[in-house]
Amino acid sequence: MDLWLSPHDARVRSLRNPREREGLLLGWHESPFGRCAGVSDGTHLLALRFETDGSVLEELGAEWPGITLTDSTKASSMVAAVFDHPLQVPILATGTPFQLTVWEYLRRSSNASTMTYGEVARSIGRPTAARAVGQAVGANHLAVAIPCHRVISKGKLTGYRWGLDRKKALLAWELSRRDPLQLPF
């Protein structure tokens, strides 16, 4: 079961407090799109990042200050599962109410379906918030599990936290795995 929590939720404060939690689990996976790392509490995936310049551990350490990240095969299995069955991996997403609304919408969107920032804004009932949708997409800390790579500008691909080449590859890969009987003709 996915959890969508505000940073002020007591469960999030507990996760981030080194005095209440000894550590979190760290998993690695060689995906078709490069090496990635994920953080788990043992039940939910909390973060998933692609390694771009070797600083993924520094980035995760900054996000979870004072928390020990321990290599774990369980966390590695969760990270790998995101690439096979993303909706079967429970996530815990932490963000503002608006970010959570955008991320939940993306998580529930059809596999391999692209949409514009404006379409997402209209779909969540905020038709003038396309720019804010872009900021929420850029703040996503669960790559692939929350498919922010599916959001594009009208008529073209634009920025992706882990590079446009990776975004193109993710979209092509998802499309190649989609059931042809479900494709629109």
Backbone angles phi, psi at 155, to 5 degrees: 80, 0
Alpha helices by DSSP H, listed for 32-181, are 56-63, 73-84, 97-108, 117-123, 130-138, 164-177
Alpha-carbon distance of 62 to 141, in angstroms, equals 13
Q: Residues 33, 170: contact at Cβ < 8 Å?
A: yes
Of these residues, 15, 46, 148, 170, which one is catalytic?
Answer: 148
Residue 109 identity: S
- Whether 148 sits among the annotated catalytic residues: the reply is yes
**What element of type H or E holds 16?**
helix 10-16
CA distance from start to end of the chain: 34
Tokens 């990240």 label which residue? 69
Look at residue 71 and give its three-state secondary structure. Answer: strand
Which residues are tagged catalytic? 148
